Structure 1
Amino acid sequence: MTTQAPAPAGIVIHVDGDACPVKDEVYKVALRHRLPVNVVANSFIRVPSNSLFQLVMVHEGPDVADDWIAERADARSVVITADILLAERCLQKGARALSPKGKAFTQNSIGQQVATRAIMEDLRSTGEQTSGPAPFRPADRSNFLSALEVEIQRLKRAG
């Protein structure tokens, strides 16, 4: 008979769930490490039947899911989001933030990413055609799995 190690104290994964393409990967890693996962969305999303996984349905409206996640993010959280402004809010609270493509948002890079986002938004508001983000590729899934594992190991070492 084998026994599983207890879940690392306090580590939690929050997923900005409405358009997240790597939820299955999050579940896989969370099961391996016995970590709770909150999938936050404003509509129903199926989550695996496991006590570690919770669907948090919030009211529709701008930033409602983001607000829920940002209010609960802390130094023991990993936040999965493609939303740069949500990532910035979570970093300010000490959380770790990853894009679904496996790119870690950091204090050193977030300022430039927010500025670039603002410039692109201004261009679009003037009618400028922009290309948008690159399509999600199979390599992005692999990059994400590696990056999530790295962040969890860092949190475990930090105690």
Structure 2
Amino acid sequence: MTILYIDGDACPVRDEVYRVADRLGLKVFVVANGSRPIRPTGRPNVSMITVEAGADVADDWIADRVTKADVCITSDIPLASRCLAKGGRALAPNAKVWTHDNIGNALAGREVGRYLREMGVATGGPATLTKQHRSRFLSELDTLVRAAQRG
């Protein structure tokens, strides 16, 4: 059975994920370290997992459990890479589907950005999600879930 994992500390598309999960009868784990409280949804298929504070603790929880039948929703490129390495699927909130073909360049770009920030260069932040992003996210999530269910 396909499970949806949400890297929950700063995920702007939780409601969209819940809608897809409700429609398809999927289990969802929202994993966060508690730095930003997340309200329980009241949905029986959604579990809120609070892990201890620390770098990558939520990522580790997800990466330890994700399987080839699952989808992870994350903007964290290293977590997406770990999910892909286990055969799972990964989708960013902006509807970017992470694949084996694009994750290497994304990891390299992340490191370049980190280096530039250390040098004092402003690299900007994440773009605001538009209605079009949310619509595309829903479409991509549905596509990834169907692929995961087919195996």
Q: Residue 64 of structure 1 aligns with which residue?
A: 57
Distance in structure 2 (CA, Å) of the matches to 1:60 and 1:15: 17
Distance in structure 2 (CA, Å) of the matches to 1:76 and 1:47: 25
Q: Percent identity?
A: 46
Rg comparison, structure with higher value: 1
Runs of 4+ in 1 over 3 A off after TM superposition: none
Distance in structure 1 (CA, Å) of the matches to 2:128 and 2:53: 26
Report the count of equivalent residues: 149
Q: Deviation string for 1:26-68 (max 9, x for gaps)?
A: 0000000000000001123113212211000000111100000
Structure 1 vs Structure 2 CA RMSD: 0.9
Distance in structure 2 (CA, Å) of the matches to 1:24 and 1:133: 19
Q: Which runs of 5+ in 2 are unaligned?
A: none
Aligned pairs for 1:1-159 within 5 A: 10-43=1-34, 44-158=37-151
Give the TM-score, by structure 1 length. 0.90
Q: Deviation string for 1:135-155 (max 9, x for gaps)?
A: 222211111100000011112
Higher RCO (CA-CA < 8 Å; seq separation 6+) = 2
**Residue 89 of structure 2 contacts residue 148 of structure 2 at CA under 8 Å; is this kept in 1?**
no
Q: Deviation string for 1:87-142 (max 9, x for gaps)?
A: 00110000100000111000000000000000010000011121233222221111
Q: Which runs of 5+ in 1 are unaligned?
A: 1-9
Give the TM-score, by structure 2 length. 0.95
